[in-house]
A = this chain, B = another copy of it.
Amino acid sequence: MLNFGLTEMRLVAPRDGWPNPDAGPAASGADAVLEGAKVFENVAEAVADCSLVFASTVRRRDLVIPVVGPHEMAGEIRSTSGRSAILFGPERSGLETEDVALANRVVTVPINPEFGSLNLAQAVILLAYEWSRGGELVQPTVKEMEPPAPMGDLEGLLGQLEDDLGQAGYFHPPERTAATKATIRTILTKPQWSTREIKAIRGIIRALVSPRGSRG
């Protein structure tokens, strides 16, 4: 990370706790990154202040999320006005489906189709390298009028909608609930709405659920 100027590390529920005495020697002198690391209980909290989230993983056929390469990722990070995050999963298992579903994009390093064996450290250094280059050949195409809302705003919308849909008996049959919630999350993550737009959507949902005149 520090080789390419990335300093802000966030850890989600680290298996061996934090601080971890094994981390120092492995960091080869990048102690400042370790000292500044923040720990979160789950991925949603870790990215709550970020408006553009990339999940570093192989192509996922089970999720409808745009897939970009490292270079494209760097260009997008450079041209967005909000904060960005790159998610990495544990060495062996990688990211869980529900963590990937929190992301706006999947970022995949194009590798040899006959032999693909990138480990976590290799994925990190390649994406950090591309980030540092800033996608210098990528021209931002559209100047966004409003920056995408931080992910915490989206969580608020999703929470409200899931509550209301639960009340309305929408999650039926019960065994499909998790999959249905994942679908809704994907559909509402895609727009990259601004904070103002999310507020408007939340007002619309309130109006549908409690029509004017019907409220207590």
Contacts and interface: CB of A to CB of B under 8 A. Distances in A.
Interface of A: 2-5, 28-30, 59, 64-69, 71-72, 109-113, 115-119, 122, 125-126, 129, 132-133, 137-139, 141-146, 161, 164-165, 167-170, 172, 183-184, 187, 190-194, 197, 200-201, 204-205, 207-213
Nearest to A209: B208
Given A122-B125, A170-B204, A191-B191, 9 more contacts: A3-B115, A4-B111, A67-B142, A164-B208, A165-B208, A168-B208, A168-B210, A170-B207, A184-B204
A3 B75 CA distance: 24
A201 B188 CA distance: 10
Instruction: Please give the count of copies of this chain that the complex contains.
Output: 2
A72 B138 CA distance: 13
Contacts of A5: 112
A2 B122 CA distance: 13
Contact of A116 (B3, B117, B139): B3
Contacts of A168: 207-208, 210-212
A67 B141 contact: yes
A68 B139 CA distance: 11
B193 A64 contact: no
Contact of A111 (B3, B194, B213): B3
A117 B210 CA distance: 51
Given A129-B126, A145-B64, A169-B213, A115 B29 contact: yes
B117 A4 contact: no
A168 B204 CA distance: 10
B67 A117 contact: no
Given A59-B144, A115-B29, A183-B200, A139 B110 contact: yes
Nearest to A183: B200
Given A117-B29, A168-B208, A207-B169, A137 B161 contact: no
